[in-house]
Amino acid sequence: MLVQRISMYSSDITRTYVADPQSEFAALIKAVDGFKHEIIQQMRVGVNYLQYHTQMHQWMAKLLHDFDFVRLSPEQIFEEGISRAFFPHGSGHFIGLRAHDVGGFMQMRKAQKRVHLKLIQVCAVCVIYVEVWC
């Protein structure tokens, strides 16, 4: 992971690369990268971020099933919270003065089940890092 600071603005960058572009791992990375681009395309100002996070977990549950990581249906993987073990940080966060800006964290008291989410609502003036790799 690289944490970069430019003019008092911090950002963390995480990247995964594959040695063999024909491997099953490459297919896995391509699928997850596709999820990232799709969720970015769906984002709209004023939408509760939990909607995007939930969608991402549902896609990850299908991926866990399709790649035979978990031998349950995608619905069971999602409903039982198994995808959280593979996707514990949520699907992204604010970027601000710190690499992981606290942003909407104080509002999370209402959603204790999902305390790892630090972003409540997409806004017109916020910068969001969609982070689906960890």
Q: What is the DSSP string of the chain?
A: -EEEEETTEEEEE-----S-TTSHHHHHHHHHHHHHHHHHHH--TT-BHHHHHHHHHHHHHHHHHHTTSS-S-HHHHHHTTTHHHHSTT-SEEE-SSSTT--TTGGGGGGGGGGTT----B--TT--EEE----
Whether pTM exceeds 0.75: no
pLDDT in tens, 91-125: 766 665 554 555 544 444 454 455 445 555 666 65
User: Tokens at residue 133, please?
Assistant: 């790799």
Residue 124 in tokens: 């017109």
pLDDT in tens, 31-60: 998 998 998 899 888 887 788 888 999 999
